[in-house]
Structure 1
Amino acid sequence: MLQVFSRLLLAKLLVLSFCFSSAQSIVYVTEGGAGNLSGSSWANALPSSQLQSRLSSLGAGSQVWVAAGTYKPTTTTNRAISFSMRNGVAIYGGFIGTESSPDQRPPISPSKPSSTTLSGDIGTTGLVNDNTYHIISNTRLDSTAILDGFVIALGNQEGSTTLLYGAGMLNSGEGAGNYCSPTIRNCFFTKNRAENGGAVYNNGDVSGSSSPQFINCIFEQNTASNGDGGAVKSSGYNGSCAPVFINCQFNRNTSEYNGGAVCFLSSYVGNNKPSFVNCLFNQNTAYFYAGALYFGIAYNGVSTPIMLNCTFTKNRITQTASAIYFNDYQNSVKAKLVNCIAWGNTGQYASELALYSYRNYQDVTYSDIQGNTSGIGVYPGTGNIIADPLFVDPATNDFQLKPTSPCINTGDPSSSTAMVGSLDLSGSKRLQAGRIDMGAYEYQGSDCSSGMYTLQNGLWSDATIWSCGRVPTATDAAVIKHRITLSSGYIGTACRVTFETGSQLIYALDAKLQLSQ
């Protein structure tokens, strides 16, 4: 399964390499426009009021460069008017207005989102009840339709009698032969509100399909006001829905029902097969089930989600499953979690489960899962642990790993950068010490000049048990914090060795330790 996913991920990332060429048609846009307003250059930029009309007429191979500012889908108060993406057209935001390449844009990060906002605040400023139903509404798109570098904010579906989903973005592939699978990169969805899927709704119902790709995106403070999926809801009702989320964050989203961050539903032989890689779920809240992720099926639906190197923490539920709920009462949810951390999530009871599966345990391996059915302890599965992951500073939402974390170098030894990418959620290098860590962040090592220490029980000769990712040499001061064994005939070296309380150094037959000091 993981090998298949890694090939699919690689193929999708290759498709996402949308190369810039001077031969491509470029439309330049600023808030007020400039010069002759033709959009032919920054000096003659198109005004914001003409952005959507120009988008609707562009052909494949075109690019749209949008400068800093706030852009609305209409200059009227018609809440049903939306922006729409197009196949073969890449829409880039975050420009200062002097660049000659998208690579020259100011960097976008979680602490510094794009300077270009697509806003649903079309009516009275600050009054949400008259805001746009869907800021972006898409249909019949493939992965060549690209949106890169925007804030999508203040969409509000409430008040509509028919448009109940996705105030930030609607990806509608509903109906036989229909599809909607655009590429969304470096975008920040915030303060959008809908009955279901506060920020995004992916619709693959009735023999349709919807499989968008979200890369380096943040979903924060979105709300499902009377339904499921505070940030995102995806549906495969007698259809297919397989969205991909890579290096994404879901923070402080809220659902009045299920899935504080995300909800997936499939029914009537439909299937839902989402993928999450290097994602963080933090401080999401739901009233009924699943503080972060909800997977539900009905009437012979199937759900086969994959979660690789994800971190679930500080999510909250008032009913069941503080992090993830698998509603597999028909035994049709077949999830795979690898190298994940679910820790510090809360519920109405102190013993609330982080993961709850209605019928059977899901396929969870090499993960740190807090809280399980009484008497079970460690979640069943190869390589799983139940131990405080030792985040750097949860109070300030720093969920990187301390040097002593039990999640360092304890992920699936067969995991590779082909599966999870070469960078973690922070943009730092993966596989620092030859074996992947659990969670969305890879420990980047420490300054070994002042010494090194053990991370877990094991053999002295195993580089993965040492904080510097290598075996001590004659110049290293080593601190033993665990139960460490010098295997038969092995000669260990160090400058000096000190022991912490409870640690132990075991000598097998003919083993030796040579100290240079």
Structure 2
Amino acid sequence: MLYVRAGASGANDGTSWANAFPTLQDALAVATSGQQIWVAAGTYYPDEGDGQTDNDRSSTFLLRENVAIYGGFAGNETALEQRDWLANVTILSGDLDQDDTPNFGNRANNAYHVVTGANNATLDGFTITAGNANGAWPNNIGGGIYNNNASPTLRNLTISGNQAGVSGGGIYNNNASPTLRNLTISGNRATSVGGGVYNNGGTPSFSNVTISDNQANWNGGGVFNSSSNASFANITISGNRATNDGGGVFNNGGTPSFSNVTISGNQAGVNGGGVYNSASTPSFANSIIWGNNSQVSGSATYSYSLVQSLNPGGTNLDGTDAANDPRFVNPILATAAPTTTGNYRLQLTSLLINAGDNGANSSTTDLDGNPRIIDGTIDLGPYEAMPAVLSISRASASPTNAATVAFTVTFNMPVSGVGAGDFVLATTDRQNGATISSVAGSGSTWTVTVTTVADATGTIGLNLVDNDTIGTTDSPPVPLGGSGAGNGDFTGEVYAVDRIAPTVTLSSPAPNPTNSTIPVTVTFSENVSGFVAGDLTVSNGSVSGFTGSGATYSFTVIPDEQGDVTVNIGADVAQDAAGNGNT
């Protein structure tokens, strides 16, 4: 094991964190086959270290065969699994004189290639940025990573802000078959082709990769495949731009394959905003091509896929039918490219959920790191829909005076493990004492029954609190919202509960005794309905001019003869909004 930590003191011999090498080049110079190099958070430049020439644009981090380099350490770990490469950002930068400005400013003296690959090498947990391949060949290709006849394993990398004078602003693979997994390739530029990635020959394997905000001034804003049999699985290619053809992908020869890929929000100045195929026979399975300024130019084979404005038939969805819109969570317009914005997960109501072919899948996880197949059938695109609550709705009318009320909880797929502990009541007023009395159901529909408080008013709402006890019926079960308590929380509907009966009083301004008609006012304690003149029982008189609504009514009693006149109102002749009859 060799250790690297920027600014390290001690012996600087790489034998421990305390004695770490201060530069990555120092570790690469002495690393032998089978060793690992652990690199702490910080920024490292290829012209720094023993044997390097300051500001030498040809300097590069040359990977070593059979040596694995891991970034993302805080500088005190004793096991690889303790590192957090997302929190402990470790940068390999080509900004040799450390004066770059936004939008590729001050790049004239940057390194041509930040990283140069080697067979059987591993690079894992880094941000690779500020490469500027603008020299003479081969220093005009592969600004971020340059793999020439080299097939390293590249994992957990962000490749951003690199450029090339010809091709492969982010990555250039020439007759190379690297394994590339869990990458973000964004904000890279190429003057000619392959703003994000250029593959020439070989069989590079991309999985769980986001390719966005890349730009080529000619063809292939996101990816350019030249006679390459590259494979792409669980990939989002979005927000890329090509001045000419192939905003997302340009395939020139070869037979690249795409499975569970979403290509959306890309722009081309001429043809193939999503994909441009020239003398190439790409295949697409479980994939979505939708929302580009134009979709596909040239022929391809499709299975279990959706291509806007195209109906390939067979197992594919009809892309000419607007009803088959993928329903992305938050797609972008292609005119916004180049950009990294957009959310290409599927809404829970998308028809593309459970619409794919399991046999075309080669991954155990989706682009979010969640299990790839949930609820039996794979979804289209790189994201698998997680179990989630679709609705928590009242099962009966509101307001109500019922002793119990029920809520219907609907999930987007069959789940198990649903219990009272997964819910909380949101109550007001005197219904604060309401309790959950039962939870029953199966599959995707469950009923939660709540006992209300007698002789009390208030509201009762039901909310689900995700504590990862609810999961799918898969083995092992996938928790609600995917791993992580709280990401499946849901706020449900609310009942207005009124279990207090309205009361009634009668009053009259007439003197007692009187020798005239008697005006009477009826006042209920709340608004009621159903109260009519026929609900009055009058002795020694008759009712005239009955009128009113809500809580107040009035009428006149015309006495029949001398003597007492009485007016009575029976119980339950008028009802409040909850159905309580008056007392």
Q: What TM-score, normalized by structure 1, do the two folds share?
A: 0.71
Asked if residue 152 in structure 1 is aligned to residue 121 in structure 2, the reply is: no
- Name the CA shift for 1:100/1:470 in 2 (closer, same or farther; >3 Å): closer
- Report the residue type matching 1:476 in the other structure: T
Shift of 1:251: 1.0
SS at match of 2:384: coil
2:376 paired with 1:434: yes
Which residue identity does 1:203 align to in structure 2? Answer: N
Q: Is the 8 A contact 1:363 1:381 kept in 2?
A: no
Q: For the residues of structure 2 that align with 1:470 and 1:231, how far apart are their CA atoms? A: 40
Residue 289 of structure 1, CA deviation: 1.0
Measured in 2, the distance between the counterparts of 1:367 and 1:335 equals 13
Q: 1:448-467 to 2 correspondence within 5 Å?
A: 450=392, 467=412
Q: Distance in 1 between the 2:138 and 2:151 partners? A: 23
Q: 8 Å contact 2:251–2:282 — kept in the other structure?
A: no
Identity %: 35
- Residue pair 1:218, 1:248 contacting (<8 A) in 2 also: yes
Which residue matches 2:326?
389
Provide the C-alpha distance between the structure 2 equivalents of 1:63 and 1:424, rounded to a whole number of angstroms: 28
Is 1:91 matched up with 2:69?
yes
1:475 shift after superposition:
9.3
- 5 Å-filtered alignment, 1:133-282, equals 133-139=112-118, 141-142=119-120, 145-160=121-136, 162-173=138-149, 180-194=150-164, 195-204=166-175, 210-225=176-191, 227-236=192-201, 241-266=202-227, 272-282=228-238
- What SS does the corresponding residue of 2:199 show, helix, strand or coil? strand
Matches within 5 A, 1:450-489: 450=392, 467-469=412-414, 476=445
Letter in 2 for 1:166: G
Deviation at 1:107, TM superposition (A): 4.9
Q: 1:470 to 1:383 in 2, by over 3 A?
A: farther
Q: Does 1:406 align with 2:351?
A: yes
- Aligned partner letter, 1:58: A
1:89-128 → structure 2 map (5 Å cutoff): 89-108=67-86, 115-123=89-97, 125-126=99-100, 127-128=106-107
Q: Secondary structure at the match of 2:359?
A: coil
Structure with greater Cα Rg = 2
C-alpha separation in 2, matches of 1:425 and 1:60? 32
Query: Considering only aligned residues, what root-mean-square deviation do their CA atoms show, in Å?
Result: 2.3
Native 8 Å contact 2:3 2:27 kept in 1 = no
| CA 1:446–1:475: 2 relative to 1, 3 Å | closer
Partner of residue 313, structure 1:
264
SS of residue in 1 equivalent to 2:348: coil
Shift of 1:101: 1.3
Q: What's the secondary structure of 2:168's corresponding residue?
A: coil
**Residue 304 and residue 42 in structure 1: after superposition, are their counterparts in 2 closer, same or farther (change >3 A)?**
same
Distance 1:304 1:467, change over 3 A: same
- Give the gaps of 5 or more residues in structure 2: 49-53, 101-105, 333-340, 394-410, 417-440, 448-583
User: Structure 1, residues 37-56: CA drift from partner, whole Å, max 9, x if none?
Assistant: 111101111111xx224313
The structural deviation recorded for 1:469 is 4.4
Q: Which of 88, 98, 110 does residue 131 from structure 1 map onto?
A: 110
Number of residues paired by the alignment? 384
Provide the residue aligned with 1:483 in structure 2.
none
- The 5-angstrom pairing of residues 71-82 of structure 1 reads 71-75=44-48, 76-82=54-60
Equivalent in the alignment of 2:388: 446
d(CA) in 2 for partners of 1:124, 1:28: 24
Using the size of structure 2 for normalisation, the TM-score is 0.63
More relative contact order, 1 or 2 (CA 8 Å, 6+ apart): 1
Alignment match, 1:340: 287
Q: Is the Cα contact below 8 Å between 1:190 and 1:199 reproduced in 2?
A: yes
Q: Contact 1:192 / 1:222 at 8 angstroms: preserved in 2?
A: yes
Counterpart amino acid of residue 195 in structure 2: G
Deviation at 1:133, TM superposition (A): 0.3
The answer to whether the 8 Å contact 1:72/1:118 transfers is yes
Q: Quick check: 1:371 aligned with 2:341? A: no
Q: Deviations over 1:154-177 (max 9, x none)?
A: 00011445422101111111xxxx
Q: Is the contact between residue 83 and residue 137 of structure 1 (CA under 8 Å) also seen in structure 2?
A: yes
Partner AA of 1:189 in structure 2: I
Report deviation, 1:342.
1.1
Can you list the C-alpha shifts for 1:138-167, whole angstroms capped at 9, x where unaligned? 34x13xx10000000000011445422101
Whole-angstrom CA distance in 2 between matches of 1:440 and 1:197 = 24
How far does residue 288 in structure 1 lie from its aligned partner after superposition? Answer: 1.0
What is the rounded CA distance, in whole Å, between the counterparts of 2:195 and 2:297 in structure 1?
19
Tell me the CA shift for residue 381 of structure 1. Answer: 4.2
Q: Distance in 1 between matches of 2:443 and 2:137?
A: 74
CA change 1:475–1:134 in 2 (3 A) is closer
Q: Which amino acid aligns with 2:316?
A: G
Single out whichever of 85-94 and 384-393 deviates more from structure 2. 384-393
Q: Distance in 2 between matches of 1:475 and 1:280?
A: 30
Q: 1:469 to 1:340 in 2, by over 3 A?
A: farther
Q: What one-letter code is carried by the residue in structure 2 that aligns with 1:125?
A: D
1:406 and 1:388 map into 2 onto residues whose CA distance is 8
Partner of 2:19: 44
Amino acid at match of 1:197: G
